Chain A
Amino acid sequence: MRLQGKVFKYGDNVDTDVIIPARYLNSSDPAELARHCMEDIDKDFAKKVKDGDIIIGGRNFGSGSSREHAPLAIKTAGISCVIAKSFARIFYRNSINIGLPILVSEEAAENIEAGSEIEIDLDTGIIKDLGTGKTYQADPFPEYMQELIKAGGLIEKVKKEVLG
């Protein structure tokens, strides 16, 4: 699958409290969560983001709380993929479980600038900066996770297991 979009870039340790502050967690409606996504570090994110856009973070993206509301808000806001130097472990599994594409690439996260238009081939993990023409290879997923992604997320996989 190919994705293309404009880059929103953030630093290290973007935590789930800034992705979706707890004051909005009295809702579990994805659309409402998306309206407040990133607002404590990027006030106009929800207004600026367009379908297909891409977030690039630094180290330990999604640290903190286990709230699945965080990847859910990002996905519902229209973000097609998150690239980071590393992901916090609960955010990592939540994203895979709910089908938000995430890629680990130290180089891409370091070099691609905010506002760049980039293209991602999810099958090969190749990230292309359309402005500079430079390409980056994301780390491959372990086989188990590839299966999980192919199945359409954890619930789809469980459905097959439970219902046959």
Chain B
Amino acid sequence: MGMTMVEKIIAAHTDYDTVKPGQIVNARVDMVLGNDVTAPVAIKEFEKIGIDRVFDKDRIALVPDHFTPNKDIKSAEHAKMVREFAWKYNITYYFEIGQMGIEHCLLPEKGLALPGEIIVGADSHTCSYGALNALATGVGSTDIAAAMATGRLWFRVPETIKFVYSGKLNPWVGGKDLILYTIGDIGVDGALYKAMEFTGEVIENLSMDGRMTMSNMAIEAGGKCGLIACDEKTREYLKDRAVRDYTPYNSDPDAEYAQVIEYDVSKIEPQVAFPHLPENTRPVSEAGHIKVDQAVIGSCTNGRIEDLRIAARILKGKKVHRDVRCIIIPGTQAIYKQAVQEGLAEIFIDAGAVVSTPTCGPCLGGHMGILAKGERAISTTNRNFVGRMGHPESEVYLASPAVAAAYAIKGYIAHPEEVL
């Protein structure tokens, strides 16, 4: 019997030749990640261990991205704690404001997330790097404290659900719509404890940015990771970035899957996830006349250059509706710079949108766009839970950059074609 890619990756990081779903192993990790919210808790736990070194200063990334640039004094104290830890242990990949970006946009860009690797991050959207064929998964602060000390962590080998996407994509349908549709189909715990494997001609043709959007939201179906095979596109993306050599692992043809789910994407139109769960998806044509107050385009889900280009195609020469606040957040400094060079930033500013420095900010109701009681946002982020972006009685609708930009112009949820 063959093995799935996740089984192969785990086995390669242990002394076993093969591993089976359900088995719990203590595996080597290639990269450990923390941010300004989760690293402070991890640092406190790390100090309890009582050692004076980290396992490898080149395999830890610390990215202050959630409440930075510091939103208040308490956040500043946390950011300071992370900075001082990074200095003390000479952490190579600490990214100060000015170099930092949203962690899951930044690590792939810097070549720090590579095929066949195990990457653990104290952030649930660490699963984004599944698009690069890495077993990347969100863990807790204590987990990364242990991993920073030992370079190892415990894992339960997951079963795998294989998703096969075939057919021709409709206009304005991309990675975000595919993953929202998938979550709408299987539910927010449809892949609980399992690995998701995204396959098929549609995935092969999808850009790296689109693939990262899909893998990013594996956690919203409860998944441990959202893996994609390493192909020419992956290698091309990593050519001038990878900081280490890497060994990809692809699934065997006779690998055993818990389930195989097939989708004909020609039937999928742009999706909107209604409050308060990512599984509450509807095609945009069935969204009804939902008036919203704020549009957010950015985040680890959709803050990459392709996302900004799509938003700019829709916003070009148009004005954001007078009742709408449109906030656009490039994921990293490099994406920001590219958006400026390509003229996207100018399109956004002329349209009446604000363009922010990279930050997770509004996605988790941190800063840079908090909602008041009764307000609604359409957002390219990943969660629409109760109170996620502000007041417990506010609402978040999740969609692609195209739909969010169309809304910003119309003032209500609209199909991108309605504004062009």
Chain A residues packing against B (C-beta within 8 Å)? 13, 15, 17-18, 21-23, 25-28, 40-41, 59-60, 63-69, 72, 86, 88-90, 93-94, 97-98, 142-145, 148, 153-155, 158-159, 161-163
Contacts and interface: CB of A to CB of B under 8 A. Distances in A.
Contacts of A18: 385-387
22 contacts: A21-B387, A25-B66, A27-B74, A28-B40, A28-B41, A41-B386, A60-B188, A60-B222, A64-B219, A64-B385, A65-B123, A68-B38, A68-B41, A88-B192, A89-B222, A94-B140, A97-B143, A144-B154, A155-B49, A158-B145, A161-B150, A163-B50
Given A60-B189, A66-B123, A68-B141, A26 B146 contact: no
Interface in B19-49: 24, 37-38, 40-41, 44-45, 48-49
Nearest to A24: B74
Contacts of A69: 37, 41
Contacts of B141: 68, 94
B151 to A, nearest CB: 11
A68 B46 CA distance: 14
Contacts of A40: 386-387, 392
Contacts of B145: 154-155, 158
A121 B141 CA distance: 28
B146 A154 contact: yes
Contact of B142 (A23, A155, A159): A155
A12 B304 CA distance: 33
Contacts of A65: 123-124, 364, 383
Contacts of A68: 38, 41, 122, 140-142
Interface string B81-124: 00000000000000000000000000000000000000001111
Nearest to A153: B142
Nearest to A156: B48
B138 interface: yes
Interface centre among B71, B75, B145, B192 (most CB of A within 10 A): B192
Interface in B364-405: 364-366, 370, 383, 385-388, 390, 392
Given A40-B387, A66-B122, A28 B44 contact: yes
B46 to A, nearest CB: 9
Nearest to A18: B386
B383 A88 contact: no
Nearest to A22: B364
Given A13-B189, A142-B24, A161-B150, A155 B48 contact: yes
Interface in B44-75: 44-45, 48-51, 66-67, 71-72, 74-75
Interface string B166-193: 0000000000000000000000110011
- Which of A41, A69, A98, A158 has the most chain B CB atoms inside 10 A of its CB? A158
B279 to A, nearest CB: 9
Given A66-B124, A94-B140, A97-B142, 13 more contacts: A18-B385, A22-B364, A25-B366, A26-B78, A27-B74, A64-B219, A89-B192, A94-B142, A142-B24, A155-B48, A155-B49, A159-B49, A163-B51
A158 B40 contact: no
